[in-house]
């Protein structure tokens, strides 16, 4: 296990290609700042995304620009790093090249694959356009468009049944994203939209959270899951566990025995790792995640690392969860292994340091799990706020951003309720009704 | 001219339908706050747009949410106003109804048509996708995407000629929008992007402003136009007056004798009034604007008003320009005429009060024309800033927004450089080049 790759002994600087500018890729690049390598980071977008707050863009609390920053700006002071906005389409581990959507090939000595995950629709790809998921900033803008448009349609229609369907929001999946979306929707309706409409009362809106398993937030201890469920119920969310979705149409969800009439269906039920994992020709788990060695490299290719949501890693006997801190730690660890190679030292196995799990429920509640210490309610929410402000500050690199962020978060009544783009979903059914407003 | 519409003598409250939530429509609605009418404002978007700062979104200085606010939020405290997000497709002035994209009909007693203008391509509709214009927030997001993507492509290519073409920005039209765009582009390149790239130096970029007439900013006195031209030239903009565009392709503009190799072409050359003007079956000028009576109503239909960019109005013997203050004043005047009708008083002719014209050149220069008083340079720029902050404050309704806005404007280095959406234009040509970054 201690064979040193041949280029370590060569004269030229090794080339490290990083695929993906999320937490894994960005932290890997940053950790290579003082290493004698050339770094090329490839991402199909121009921005790093602060994904933990993505649901706040989807629910029109924050603006897209609040939680994104250009990757090349984040790495502007790192002279050994270059950024190209190119999506990677193929990886050839034998020739050691990645091929991009621009038709270009980039050769590497080391590859750090941090391509993340997309939504999985469990053999129902046709559900994707009916029930969009939330991974990218474009996804969030689309969800925001659908949610805000639903209230507009409800105001416009004269048919009570239609109005009810426009005011019904179904979220499929009771993990952190589903819970966070479900918790924000009643808040939008109650606090922000209540004065703006004339014919509907936004508090008439229904939010239904469907979870196939026996509890929401399955990664948390039972007591905390139960607490979160109670918090959601108090906010007016109809939480249904043990309920499988058997069908989704443009205007309904079939959940268990019931057919729910709803125009807005949001998907938070499953992840599928990036298809690039296949190109590595090594073992993957059911979700398509690549089974990696303890040092995060793949079997037979010590020069290829997989980090973040695309990696299936075991640390201290437990699978490492697909969360931002894990991705950051993996990115940093892969970079460290490269540095150790160059210093002719042995690599170390990756160890995940879980600093605790946090999930928010609405605007002022959360649950926190720090192993022995468990916190709920408003205190947990303040913890959540503190942790996210800390990270966002580091990422945006300016203290004053905090003020701005806090301002938008607390005042709410802002221009963030912007509908842009013109997809088809969610506004497809428009019944002609004679005007008698 | 003093016949009172029949419904003024009826018992029920007259219904005023306003088409368009821009400056004309919004100010008309607001001015009807204390009038005994029911107001219905229709707009195909959910937001009012602070259009004078739209070019700053296109050039990634401000975020889309900074200059938009939901129309229904702006009118939330006005109990007699209702807002629907519906585009109007037809107007039937005989039956007194408007028909919307939702297939709905809305009857009116008074109609205030404030549907504005779009770009005109002078019998070359095929140029629209090649050289997009700037009217809506979606337009601005598209322009921002093209401008930022151009720098990304320039960094990625190995072909010097291609790189030059990606770094060449051609703006067609030397009116205020063209001048404002042209003035911002060198600033982006120099101040914001200079540290972020490795292979290109963004100051290599060329900005070419093409104007068919003999001077830029034709509405201004010669001395001020000349001053603006000098300011632009000092910023590095290649200003070419008397230059007609004869052809536009995906990768070139034919301007006069020259064929300019460029991937990013922006259109600021002409306006065409909304096609809804045709439905009024009355006289229109060449640009499709409706020739209105002195009280802004149309001949034969005292109950139909046209305001804003769609109206061709003469005040004090001069045509009223298509600017935001004129639209506001017209909207308010139409509302006033309705009120006078209800009070059985004669209407008054519309008089445009020109408070002065302002145009910015880059980040710290402007020209101002107050009739006898003319101001240029930094002083004019401070005036411009003051006026826009005043208006934006009223519109956003919060003093602290000023701080936020000033902060984003002056620091620049923000997440506003976000590329969202995935059109095809501007990134269509991607040459396969072997990777040797």
Return the number of CB contacts < 8 Å for A and B.
175
Question: pLDDT tens digits for A284-317?
Answer: 999 999 999 999 999 999 999 999 999 999 999 9
Could you confirm whether A180 is annotated as catalytic?
A: yes
| Options B86, B162, B180, B303, the catalytic residue | B180
Count Cβ atoms below 10 Å from residue B213 Cβ, excluding itself: 15
Residue A65 to residue B70, Cβ atoms within 8 A: no
Show the beta-strand stretches assigned E in A233-288.
237-240, 245-249, 252-255, 258-261, 264-267, 271-273
Instruction: Parse chain A into domains and list their residue ranges.
Output: 6-119+271-342, 125-269
Please state whether beta strands A237-240 and A206-210 pair in parallel, antiparallel, or not at all (unpaired): parallel
Tell me how close the Cα of A43 comes to any Cα of chain B, in angstroms.
11
Q: Give dist(CA A401, CA A408) in Å, integer.
A: 11
Q: Look-up: residue for tokens 């890997």?
A: A28
Q: What pLDDT is recorded for position B153?
A: 94
C-alpha distance across the termini of chain A, in Å: 75
Tens-level pLDDT at each residue, chain B (437 residues): 445 555 555 668 999 999 999 999 999 999 999 999 999 999 999 999 988 889 989 998 888 887 888 899 889 899 999 999 999 999 999 999 999 998 899 999 999 999 999 988 988 999 999 999 999 999 999 999 999 999 999 999 999 999 999 999 999 999 999 999 999 999 888 776 778 899 898 778 999 999 999 999 998 999 999 999 999 999 999 999 999 999 999 999 999 889 999 999 999 998 899 999 999 999 999 999 999 999 999 999 999 999 999 999 999 999 999 999 999 999 999 999 999 999 999 999 999 998 888 888 987 888 989 888 898 888 888 888 778 777 765 665 444 455 556 666 666 555 577 888 764 333 333 333 333 33
Q: What pLDDT is recorded for position A397?
A: 44
The helix/strand count (H/E) of chain B reads as 10, 27
Interface probe, candidates B16, B40, B154, B414, chain A, greatest A C-beta count within 10 A:
B414
Give the helix/strand (H/E) hosting A7: none
Count Cβ atoms below 10 Å from residue A141 Cβ, excluding itself: 22
CATH architecture, range B6-119+271-342: 3-Layer(bba) Sandwich (3.50)
Q: What pLDDT is recorded for position B244?
A: 93
Q: What pLDDT is recorded for position B67?
A: 84
Q: Give dist(CA B284, CA A27) in Å, integer.
A: 61
Phi first, then psi: give them for residue B111, nearest 5 degrees: -120, 130
Residue A319 pLDDT grade (very low, low, confident, very high; cuts 50, 70, 90)? very high
Q: What pLDDT is recorded for position B424?
A: 35
Q: What is chain A's mean pLDDT, rounded?
A: 87
Please state the pTM of the whole predicted model: 0.89
By C-alpha distance, the chain B residue nearest A198 is B82
Residue B73 tokens, joined: 């939020």
Give helix A377-396 / helix A400-411 axis angle, nearest 10°.
140
Give the helix/strand (H/E) hosting B265: strand B264-267
**Dihedral sign computed on CA atoms, order A219, A224, A228, A230:** positive
Please give the biggest Cα pair distance in chain B: 81
Q: Look-up: residue for tokens 């469920």?
A: A229
Q: Give dist(CA B61, CA B191) in Å, integer.
A: 12
Query: From residue B98, how far is each of A377, B48, B87, B107, B145 by CA, in Å?
Result: 51, 21, 10, 7, 35
Q: Give dist(CA A323, CA A387) in Å, integer.
A: 14
Residue A415 to residue B72, Cβ atoms within 8 A: no
Least confident of A177-186, A366-375, B377-386: B377-386
Nearest to A407 among B404, B419, B437 (CB): B404
Q: What pLDDT is recorded for position A249?
A: 95
Residue A6 pLDDT grade (very low, low, confident, very high; cuts 50, 70, 90)? low
CATH architecture, range A125-269: 3-Layer(bba) Sandwich (3.50)
Count Cβ atoms below 10 Å from residue B11 Cβ, excluding itself: 5
| Options A86, A180, A293, A303, the catalytic residue | A180
Q: Is the pLDDT of residue A428 over 60?
A: no
**Residues of B whose CB is below 8 A from A138:** 420-422
Interface probe, candidates A47, A420, A424, A427, chain B, greatest B C-beta count within 10 A:
A420
**Residues of B whose CB is below 8 A from A104:** 156, 432-435
Q: What pLDDT is recorded for position B436?
A: 30
Q: What pLDDT is recorded for position A65?
A: 82
Helix/strand/coil for B158: coil
Helix/strand/coil for B415: coil
**Is there a shared CATH topology between the B6-119+271-342 domain and the B125-269 domain?**
yes
In the Cβ-directed half-sphere of B400, how many Cα atoms lie within 13 Å?
Answer: 9
């Amino acid at each position: 296990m201690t064979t040193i790759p041949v280029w370590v002994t060569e004269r030229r600087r090794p080339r490290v290609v990083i695929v993906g500018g999320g937490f894994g890729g960005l932290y890997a690049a940053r950790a290579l700042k003082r290493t004698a390598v050339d770094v090329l980071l490839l991402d199909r977008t121009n921005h790093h995304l602060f994904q933990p707050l993505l649901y706040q863009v989807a629910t029109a609390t924050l603006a897209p620009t609040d939680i994104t920053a250009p990757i090349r700006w984040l790495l502007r002071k790192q002279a050994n790093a270059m950024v190209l906005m190119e999506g990677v389409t193929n990886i050839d581990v034998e020739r050691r090249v990645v091929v991009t959507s621009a038709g270009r090939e980039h050769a590497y000595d080391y590859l750090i694959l941090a391509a993340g995950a997309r939504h999985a629709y469990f053999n129902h790809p046709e559900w994707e356009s009916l029930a969009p998921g939330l991974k990218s900033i474009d996804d969030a803008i689309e969800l925001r468009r659908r949610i805000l448009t639903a209230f507009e349609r409800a105001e416009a229609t004269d048919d009570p049944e239609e109005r009810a369907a426009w005011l019904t929001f179904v979220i499929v999946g009771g993990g952190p994203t589903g819970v966070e979306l479900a918790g924000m929707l009643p808040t939008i309706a109650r606090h922000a939209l209540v004065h703006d409409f004339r014919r509907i009362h936004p508090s008439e809106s229904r939010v239904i959270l469907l979870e196939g398993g026996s509890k929401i937030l399955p990664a948390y201890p039972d007591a905390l899951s139960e607490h979160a469920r109670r918090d959601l119920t108090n906010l007016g969310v109809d939480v249904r566990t043990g309920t499988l979705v058997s069908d989704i149409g443009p205007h309904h969800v079939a959940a268990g025995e019931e057919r729910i009439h709803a125009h807005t269906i949001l998907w938070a039920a499953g992840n599928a790792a990036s298809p690039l994992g296949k190109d590595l020709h090594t073992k993957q788990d059911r979700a398509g995640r690549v089974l990696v060695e303890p040092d995060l490299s793949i079997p037979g290719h010590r020069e290829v690392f997989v980090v973040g949501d695309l990696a299936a890693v075991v640390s201290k006997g437990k699978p490492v969860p697909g969360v931002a801190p894990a991705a950051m730690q993996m990115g940093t660890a892969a970079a460290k292994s490269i540095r150790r190679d160059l210093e002719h030292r042995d690599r170390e196995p990756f160890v995940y340091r879980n600093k605790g799990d946090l999930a928010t429920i609405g605007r002022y509640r959360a649950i926190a799990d720090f192993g022995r210490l468990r916190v709920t309610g408003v205190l947990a929410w303040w913890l959540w706020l503190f942790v996210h402000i800390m990270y966002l500050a580091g990422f945006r690199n300016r203290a004053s951003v905090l003020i701005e962020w806090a301002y938008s978060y607390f005042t709410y009544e802002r221009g963030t309720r912007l509908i842009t783009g013109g997809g088809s979903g969610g506004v497809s059914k428009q019944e002609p009704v004679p005007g008698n407003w």
